[in-house]
Structure 1
Amino acid sequence: MMSKKNGAKSQETPLSPAEEQAKINELRALLGPLTGKLLLYCSDASLARYLRARNWNMKKAAKMLKEALKWRLEYKPEEIRWEDVAHEAETGKIYRANYVDKYGRTVLVMRPGFQNTSSSKGQIKYLVYCMENAVLNLPPDQEQMVWLIDFKGWKAGAISVKVTRETARILQGCYPERLGLAILYNPPKIFESFFSVVKPFLEPKTYRKVKFVYSKDLESRRIMEEAFDMDKLECAFGGLNPIEFNVVDYGQRMKEDDNKMALHWNSSVSTLSSNNSAETKSFLDTNNFEVGSDSSDKDVNLESLDIESDSDGCPKAVLQDSSCLDSDPDTSAKMNKKDDPVKLESSSNSSA
């Protein structure tokens, strides 16, 4: 159940399903008429994610969604295909695992130490491709995914500030409320220090999603056992599955998914009067509502933090969440079970 602030006491009162739907309807009305892929994208569930990401603040959610829709029109993430990014995937730096967590959520494995290209555009395109593929493979009862981030071979100097900022911008603004759990596996100690700096800027629902896990730590073992079926989890993360990334086999899986992606968008959109140029013009012409600026509507970014950089200009610690980050320190909306089963302790009211 969502929540809303209640007066000067900053208490929160749950929003009823009817109130939530009213907010969704209000946001849809602000957007105006949509066609084609934009109409397909703007389902009630999608609008609810943007509203949740901004704690049901209509002005903030409208601004965020408008910018995301413009990005989708220009970038066309759903049209990226395996052939466009196969060279980026060769080392297995990001891939969708062939297993899910205990909640059925898609698992994306990320290995930043396996970076194999210098093209920032190519790296971003591959990340977007992986995110779109992960969303495509989510079961009907889940909206969020799991990131397994393996720091084997990682060096701070291998990550550029430019790529990091663009990655953060896209994940935060265009895939809100998609992250259910992020496991940082054997991270350098600097990441814990960085996280302690960032934490005051994050809502509780965001930082609760991040788990630091170490292969030789017993408590870490418990975290992995509660999140995954150890028989299916890869050995690299302490599981019993000996499977290793194979780019040829993975490419075949992705080509099959590319066909599903095209079917999802094209067959559905064909009934929604899709015309890209007309769609773009209609959206840009009818969405000039003033969202203004809001001093409390600032996402966490590298410039806002006093973090030392190395000699190559690379931050010594980089961590960003696809849930939108809000600098309001008192915004800690209560959340529902569907959104975040990340809580590994026994609870039937987990949140995101």
Structure 2
Amino acid sequence: MEDNMGIGENKGQKVEDSENAESFSLQERNKIELMRALVQKQDPSSQEIDDYAMRRFLRARDLDIEKASVMLLKYLKWKRTFMPKGCISTSEIQNEIAQNKMFMQGVDKQGRPIAVVYGGRHLQNKGGLEEFKRYVVFALDKLCARTSPGKEKFVVIGDLEGFGYSNSDVRGYLASLSILQDFYPERLGKLFVVHVPYLFWTLYKIVCPFIDNNTKKKIIFVENKRLTSTLLEDIDESQLPEIYGGKQPLVPIHNA
């Protein structure tokens, strides 16, 4: 079965396979080789992991081989349990899809795919936390499938217009944060948070301690009066969603 996991598992792919990709430093090459040998002793399935994925895990742990190896092994174990078939199908997330809360269309000036998430449409549903986690993984895989080796990040616009108490799903947001940070390291390029209501700051204070420093640096809270101009600094008008003054129609993530 084809695997779209964010980790980038392209068997046998080496750093020289992708032209115009971000180059590997000599230090990274050496550490990848050492990390690969260490991880394969504990989990032979890791031989399917390409050098770009190895580098993402290394960078997420400041090039510490032991810490990055622990992180990668945790991911491999999680994947076998969470996605025994290798991917999440739409039939497993029907309640989440019905909320029509996530879209994907366009790329930023660096060629990174763009997703738009409407926080005001997220509600806990009868599928519970587990279905929501499956939906998060499904969406992340969709975004990662639009990246390329060496250009592996994506951009998210988190739109909180209409966000209220019914959308303040702390457990869900902490779970999605954990999935992003633990299993999709170095994938988020930038998160623009727009139309931020006062209520959100209470929720953010709860979630903020769980956000690692690398992720925090990628979060930009955009003032309403500077919304379009701020987004246009990173995204061409031709690629910006129509709702923010651009020309791209939004496409539901499950149809993208």
> TM-score normalized by structure 1?
0.58
2:65 counterpart letter in structure 1: M
- Give the aligned partner of residue 153 of structure 2: 144
Report % sequence identity. Answer: 26
Distance 1:174 1:155, change over 3 A: same
Query: RMSD of the TM alignment (CA)?
Result: 2.8
- Give the aligned partner of residue 24 of structure 1: 32
Aligned partners of 1:215 and 1:237 also within 8 Å: no
- Give the aligned partner of residue 92 of structure 1: 100
Query: Structure 2: how far apart are the matches of 1:79 and 1:235?
Result: 31
Aligned partners of 1:109 and 1:149 also within 8 Å: yes
Query: Structure 2: how far apart are the matches of 1:20 and 1:128?
Result: 28
The CA deviation string for residues 206-257 of structure 1, in whole angstroms up to 9 with x for no partner, is 333111113323xx4332111112233223233244x355x6xx65x35xxx
**Is 1:81 the equivalent of 2:89?**
yes
**Is 1:124 the equivalent of 2:133?**
yes
Task: Could you tell me which runs of 5 or more consecutive residues in structure 1 were left unpaired when the two chains were aligned.
Answer: 1-15, 255-352
- Give the aligned partner of residue 243 of structure 2: 236
Higher gyration radius (CA): 1
Question: Following TM superposition, by how much is the alpha carbon of 1:141 offset from its aligned partner in structure 2, in angstroms?
Answer: 4.1
- Give the aligned partner of residue 115 of structure 2: 108
Aligned partners of 1:85 and 1:125 also within 8 Å: yes
Question: Following TM superposition, by how much is the alpha carbon of 1:169 offset from its aligned partner in structure 2, in angstroms?
Answer: 1.7
Query: Structure 2: how far apart are the matches of 1:163 and 1:91?
Result: 15
Question: Following TM superposition, by how much is the alpha carbon of 1:129 offset from its aligned partner in structure 2, in angstroms?
Answer: 0.3
2:190 counterpart letter in structure 1: L
3-state DSSP class of the match of 2:92? helix
- Give the aligned partner of residue 159 of structure 1: 168
1:22 counterpart letter in structure 2: N
3-state DSSP class of the match of 1:216? helix
Query: Structure 2: how far apart are the matches of 1:122 and 1:183?
Result: 25
**Is 1:188 the equivalent of 2:197?**
yes
The CA deviation string for residues 61-110 of structure 1, in whole angstroms up to 9 with x for no partner, is 12111111100111127421223224411232123x22111111111211
Query: Structure 2: how far apart are the matches of 1:212 and 1:227?
Result: 14
Aligned residues: 228
Question: Following TM superposition, by how much is the alpha carbon of 1:166 offset from its aligned partner in structure 2, in angstroms?
Answer: 1.9
2:66 counterpart letter in structure 1: K
Aligned partners of 2:158 and 2:192 also within 8 Å: yes
Question: Following TM superposition, by how much is the alpha carbon of 1:157 offset from its aligned partner in structure 2, in angstroms?
Answer: 4.2
- Give the aligned partner of residue 178 of structure 2: 169
Identify which of 204, 220, 224 aligns with 1:215: 224
Query: Structure 1: how far apart are the matches of 2:194 and 2:34?
Result: 41
